[in-house]
Structure 1
Amino acid sequence: MENHVVKVLKSYYVTYDVKCFVVEKPEGYDFIPGQAANISINLPEWKDQLRAFSFTSLNEDNYLEFMIKIYMDHEGVTNMLGGINVGDELILHDIFGAIHYKGPGIFIAGGSGITPFISIFRDLHKKQLLGGNRLIYSNKTSEDVIMKEELQVMLKSNFVNLLTRENVMGFIGRRIDRNFLIENIADFGQHFYICGSTEFVANITEYLLDLGVTPDSLVIEK
């Protein structure tokens, strides 16, 4: 796929360590909600340093949006992205991704693993097809929750918030473990969408398979 150099149109933080980038959208550039693009920074020493980030915008938007967790504690691409602002340039490389909507089900996200689901939820909400879907979203603290207000508006009572390191009103103070899944999911015969750290995805996948979910019902990034 052809690479595209695009300018940053907007750049701002949505949490203390997650930055939203709105960039130009090349003509004819299409993606499926849930997919990601390999992106690099258009600077000589960084243009070959590719990292994958999920689209959070809608395919029909005339711009592209990404929400990226910035790791300031070590030198790398996201650290550099922390200093990228309006007028700077990124390079869009190939589009890929196994996460896309296959039908109503349970979405289970850990931290910035929510990002591919944002585009899916926005697309379904716009089409009035979000009913029958539920989000279980785990974070360390309330400050880590990405797009909480918008997710609440879209999903209403089907938005379940967990915190692993805080006890805050409106949140469930526990981890997503096997017992939590048994207590909170009545039907293990539906689709399950999982995204988060490698360990998070592996653990949730293991629990679900153990509870009778078929591999074909799991939607994860391979």
Structure 2
Amino acid sequence: MTHKLTLQAIEPVTHNVNHLVFDRPAGYEFAPGQATDFALDRDGWREEQRPFTFCNLPGSDTLEFVIKSYPSHDGVTEQIAKLQPGDTVLIEDAWGAIEDKGPGTFIAGGAGITPFIAILRARLDREGTLDGSQLIFSNTEARDIILREEWERMPGLDTTFTLTGEDAPGLPHARIDAGFLDRTVKDWSGMFYVCGPDKMVEDIAGLLRDKDVPAARIVSEEARGGPRPGVLVKRAGND
């Protein structure tokens, strides 16, 4: 079912990421980690749907997204960055297989962090702490880290930010490989949540299998045979 949303507010999160707040249609439901197919409500754009993940708590009276834009591609995400309060967009019903299955290690690459925003916020709201959870978040540069201050403030959440494109004070300059995981993962017996670019998710899933982590403890869209919202959010910038 298609729903029309009206933009209430838009504000920058990083140099190329915006937080968008929309009104919420009566009866619209989603679970933390789920996404929706999103289109601009404009001639020539209504058929250009892109998947984006909800970042607010399910009980709020708004629908919110954190969306990375790619201005050089003259596509949907560039147009999203230009939206103004009062503009409308179209979304479909919520979907997605990334869900909260308990404390664990959350491994994200770039815009792949988006399914984890609502999951971690909801768990913190419910439990009051994120004890037992760890976030490993890879980006190209320090300025690309989405919601870094929020992650660092979350009580109980162990955070590790790593960069692949620059050296920055206090942050490792390394890709997430077997050695990095050996040095960084605090608990190999818990759940593992993985979202990011295709190759990254494939590689990390293989590394986890090599460490004898069973499939039942690996949460990703790929693990359930479907598309991954965080990856698709990143892909959307390609057009």
Q: For this structure pair, what is the TM-score category when the shorter chain's length is used for normalisation?
A: over 0.9
1:161 aligned residue: 161
Q: Is the 8 A contact 2:132 2:156 kept in 1?
A: no
TM-score, normalized by length of structure 2? Answer: 0.89
1:121 aligned residue: 120
Query: CA offset at residue 164 of structure 1?
Result: 1.3
Query: CA offset at residue 174 of structure 1?
Result: 1.2
Query: CA offset at residue 186 of structure 1?
Result: 4.7
TM-score, normalized by length of structure 1? Answer: 0.95
Secondary structure class of the residue paired with 2:73: coil
Q: List structure 1 segments (4+ residues) > 3 angstroms apart after TM superposition.
A: none
Q: Which has the higher contact order (CA 8 A, sep 6+)?
A: 2
1:1-222 matches, within 5 Å, as 2-127=1-126, 128-155=128-155, 158-222=158-222
Secondary structure class of the residue paired with 1:167: coil
Q: Is the 8 A contact 1:101 1:120 kept in 2?
A: yes
* In 2: Cα distance, 1:157 partner to 1:209 partner: 24
| 1:120-162 CA-partner distances (Å, limit 9, x unpaired) | 1111111125211110011111100001111111156601111
Query: CA offset at residue 203 of structure 1?
Result: 1.2
Secondary structure class of the residue paired with 1:49: coil
In structure 2, the CA distance between the partners of 1:125 and 1:102, relative to structure 1 (3 Å rule), is same
Length, aligned pairs only = 221
Q: Is the 8 A contact 1:141 1:166 kept in 2?
A: yes
* In 2: Cα distance, 1:186 partner to 1:83 partner: 41
**Structure 2 alignment gaps of length 5 or more:** 223-239
Query: CA offset at residue 98 of structure 1?
Result: 0.6
Secondary structure class of the residue paired with 2:98: coil
Identity, in percent, stands at: 38
Query: CA offset at residue 187 of structure 1?
Result: 3.6
Q: Is the 8 A contact 1:134 1:155 kept in 2?
A: no
